Amino acid sequence: MEGAALATPLTRAAGIEVPLVCGAMYPCSNPELVAAVSEAGGIGVVQPISLTYVHGHDFREGLRLMRRLTSKPIGMNALIEQSSRTYRERMERWIDVALEEGVRFFVTSLGNPRWVADRVKAVGGVVYHDVTERKWAEKAVAGGVHGLIAVNDRAGGHAGERSAERLLEELSPLGLPVVCAGGIGDERDFARVLRMGYAGAQLGTRFIATHECRASEAYKRGIVEAGEKDIVLTERLTGVPVAVINTPSVRRLGTKAGPLARFMLRGRRTKHWMRTIYAVRSLWALKRGLLRDSPERDTWQAGKSVAGIDRIEPAGDVVRRFAEAWRASAGA
Ligand SMILES: Cc1cc2nc3c(=O)[nH]c(=O)nc-3n(C[C@H](O)[C@H](O)[C@H](O)COP(=O)(O)O)c2cc1C
């Protein structure tokens, strides 16, 4: 009965109670965090590179660990940019293993999600695709996805360029459920986007400041203490703008890609090498920065939702408080 009061197309598709997704986060998604969000009635999304490379689990064993922590649905993120054949083959294997282990909710980012949608649909699962504008959403719809995740200009990670309001207006006519990603730090933000007509919310930054996330205490405190003005976009991590806290390390390095990198990112051939160099370098730097207590040396990703985050708390408490606020606001 309680679940029904919060039902949206997202909760029905994913088989969950609260329309709240803990989005994939490299390097912050660890199994305990993903499982805690799912156990509380939302859905945690596994980031495969974070699970294996950062947190040291064999992919299948990591999924089984989560299964021991919760019997409720978990999701998986598939970044499907066609950058290398080896990566694509690895991703195909990860998706097959996830399907074998019972995962039925997938969030795809970048690239054409058709091949993921085909595999997932064959076993009755669903695919939601991250988009920042209508052009990409149309491709995803043509690729057969079930829903869209609208990444707006306040998001942590690779932010979009449009506001939550504008994205909903652009994407709603496509006829699929739309989930809001970006800028949701407290329960009032959550209730507000659901009232606007979103089918759910995907949060990242809020869940870093939780007991279950393995990020360092300094990173978590950095999120609690930061205000909206402390969030800047830097190209220094991946070559495209990523939202980070303006720590002394970011101020020292600057936020623009260097001249050589910029030149290489423009070239038709060199841009692929440059992106690979960036990808490898940022995977390593972010992994190192996750556990270290050093704003002087590290880059910490976070979005403008820091404005609404005032405490480090259990992930399940976030889900329950947000659900309660929505229930109250919907008069359920
Ligand atoms: C530290 C961090 C890492 C992220 N890594 C990924 C990722 O690996 N894949 C992905 O699809 N999205 C990633 N995101 C985006 C989140 O899944 C989510 O869409 C976003 O954080 C929502 O905005 P919010 O941080 O304001 O809640 C990341 C976000 C953060 C904050």
Looking at residue 1, what is its pLDDT?
41
Ligand 1 geometric centre to CA of 3 (Å): 26
Gap between the Cα atoms of 85 and 207, Å rounded: 32
Which of 205, 213, 247 maximizes ligand 1 atoms within 8 Å of its Cβ, making it the mutation to test the pocket? Answer: 205
183 lines ligand 1 (CB under 6 A): yes
Q: DSSP H helical segments within 103-231, as ranges?
A: 114-121, 134-142, 164-171, 187-196, 205-208, 217-225
- Tell me if 212 sits within 8 A of 66, measured CB to CB: no
- Mean pLDDT score, 11-15: 97
87's CB contacts (< 8 A; 6+ apart) are: none
Smallest CA separation from ligand 1 atom 13, residue: 25
25-59 pLDDT, tens digit per residue, is 999 999 999 999 999 999 999 999 999 999 999 99
Q: Which residue has the higher pLDDT, 279 or 231?
A: 231
278-288 pLDDT, tens digit per residue, is 677 777 778 87
Q: What is the pTM of this model?
A: 0.94
Gap between the Cα atoms of 114 and 13, Å rounded: 18
Looking at residue 184, what is its pLDDT?
98
201 lines ligand 1 (CB under 6 A): no
122-135 pLDDT, tens digit per residue, is 999 999 999 999 99
